[in-house]
Amino acid sequence: MQNFEYCTPTRLIFGKGVVERLPDVMKPLGKKVLLAYGSGSIKKLGLYDKVKNLMKDFEIIELANIQPNPKYDPSVLEGVRLCKEHQVEVILAVGGGSVLDCTKAIAAGAKYDGDPWDLISYKVKAQAALPIVDILTLSATGSEFDSGGVISRTETNDKIGYLDPLLYPVCSILDPTYTFSVSKKQTAAGCADAMNHVMEQYFVEDSTLLNDGFCEAELKSLMVNTRACLENPEDYRARAEMMLCCTYGCNRILSLGNSPSGWPCHGIEHALSAYYDITHGEGLAIITPRWMKHILNERTVDRFVKYGVNVFGIDSTLGKFEIAERAIDETYRFFESIGIPMHLREVGIDDSRIDEMAHHIAINEGLEQAYAPLTEKDIKEILLASL
C-alpha cells in the first residue's frame, strides 16, 4: 500500500427536506452571497424560489446561465467580477457539476488580483478562496465532495481540471428529490461519469481488497439504481443511492493507498468536450470500452478478470482473456442499454480533428504515465475505434 494523506473537509447534509437547513449553514459564512445557477432547471423545479425565500435575510447577487462544460469566458470572469464589485463573502452554487465547478474557479479568482486563468492553468497557486456552499441537483460528477472544478476555454480548446484543497465546498446539501426531474439522457450520462470515476481508480497496478470491494460495490449499485431511476424517475430510494454513489466517486476515498492511475479516459474525454462541447458522461461511456480493449494484455488481464467476475458475475472458470473480453462487452452493453449513444459520430464527432485532438491530449494530459501508458498513437487509435 502506498503512503497517503487525506482530508475532505466538506460537510454533507443529506436527505428529503434538508434544504431547510440552508440559512443556518450560510449564517456563519457571511451576508453577501453570490447565488450561481445554470439555465433555468432550478426555476422549473421551484428550487430557485425556495432558496430565495430561505435566504431573504441575506444580500443576494446572482450569476445565472452557467452552461454545461462551464466556460471561463463569460461565466468565470463574470462571477469573479461580481464577487469583487459587491465584496461577496460566500458563494451558493445551485445546480449540477457545471455550476459547482464554475463556482470553484470563481471562489479562487475572487481572491486573486491577476487573471484567474493563472490559477486554473496552475501558473500561480491560489492563496485563498471564498467559501462555497452547494445544493446539488444532478448526481454525476462528485464535485460536491471534491476539491476540483473543470473549466473550458473555448478559444484554445482547453478543458482543465483545476484542483486545490482550498476549493472543497464547506457544505453540500444533498436532497435526492431535486434530482427527480433530471432527464433520462443526463441520468444515464451521470451514471457513466460516476462509473468511470470508479474505474479510473480500479484499473491500477497496486490496490487493496478493501478498495476493490468499495469500487465493485459502487459499480453494481450505480448500474442497479440507474436502471431503477430510468424506469421510475421519482424512485426516492434509487435516486438517493445513486446520489451517494456519485458523491463518493471522485474524491479519492475509493483508492486511498492505491498506485496512481493517470485517469486516462478523463484525459481523453476532456478534449472531446473541449473541442465539441459534448456531454461529459456520454463521451466517457463511448471511450471506456475502447480504452479497455486497447490496454488489455498479459500485464493488465488479471484486473479485467477481477472486474468481470466480481462486477458482472462472469464464470470464473473460463479462460482469463475470455472473461476479460466478456467484461468489456458487458460494459459496452450496459451503457448502450441505458440509452447512451455509443459512437462518436452519434454525438457529432467525425474523423476530421482526430489527429489534432490526439496531439492535444498527448501534450497536455501526461498519459504516458498512466497505469497502461498511452502515447499519441495509442490515443489516436482509441479515438478512431470510438468513431
Shortest CB 340 distance to ligand NZQ, Å: 13
Q: For cell 473537509, what's the residue?
A: 9
Q: Which is nearer to Zn ion, 51 or 195 (CB)?
A: 195
Nearer to Zn ion, 90 or 215 (CB): 215
Please tell me whether residue 247 binds ligand NZQ under the rule CB under 6 A.
no
Going residue by residue from 125 to 154, which x/- string records binding to ligand NZQ, judged by CB under 6 A? ------------xx-xxxx--x-xxx----
Cis ω on the peptide bond leading into residue 23 (within 30° of 0)?
A: no
Amino acid symbol at 306: K
- DSSP letter at 71 equals B
- The grid coordinates of residue 24 equal 443556518
List binders of ligand NZQ among 185-204 (CB under 6 A).
186, 190, 193
In the bound state with ligand NZQ, the residue whose beta carbon lies nearer, of 32 and 185, is 185
Q: Which of residues 150-209 bind Zn ion (CB under 5 A)?
A: 193
User: Could you give the CA distance from residue 136 to residue 143 in angstroms, rounded to a whole number?
Assistant: 9
The DSSP annotation for 239-288 comes to HHHHHHHHHHHTSSGGGTTPPP---HHHHHHHHHHHHH---HHHHHHHHH
Task: Indicate the residue among 246 and 311 with the shorter CB distance to ligand NZQ.
Answer: 246
Q: How many Å apart are CA 83 and CA 63, to the nearest integer?
A: 10
Nearest distance, CB of residue 194 and Zn ion, angstroms: 8
Minimal distance, residue 111 CB to Zn ion, in Å: 27
Residue 68 near ligand NZQ by CB under 6 A:
yes
Q: At 46, list the grid cell.
A: 421551484
190 binds, among ligand NZQ, Zn ion, none (CB under 5 to 8 A by kind): ligand NZQ
With CB under 5 to 8 Å by kind, the binding choice for 69 among ligand NZQ, Zn ion, none is ligand NZQ
Q: How far is CA 319 from the centre of its chain?
A: 35
Q: Contacts with ligand NZQ in 84-123 (CB under 6 A)?
A: 95-99, 101
Select the residue whose beta carbon is closest to Zn ion and give its number: 193
Rg (CA), the chain: 20
The string of DSSP letters for 325-356 reads HHHHHHHHHHHHHTT---SGGGGT--GGGHHH
Residue with cell 492535444: 360
The DSSP bridge pattern shows strands 171-174 and 11-14 to be parallel
Subset of residues 7 to 46 that bind ligand NZQ, contact rule: CB under 6 A: 38-41, 45
Under rule CB under 6 A, how many of the chain's residues touch ligand NZQ? Answer: 34
Q: List residues near ligand NZQ by CB under 6 A.
A: 38-41, 45, 68-69, 95-99, 101, 137-138, 140-143, 146, 148-150, 178-179, 181-182, 186, 190, 193, 250, 266, 280-281
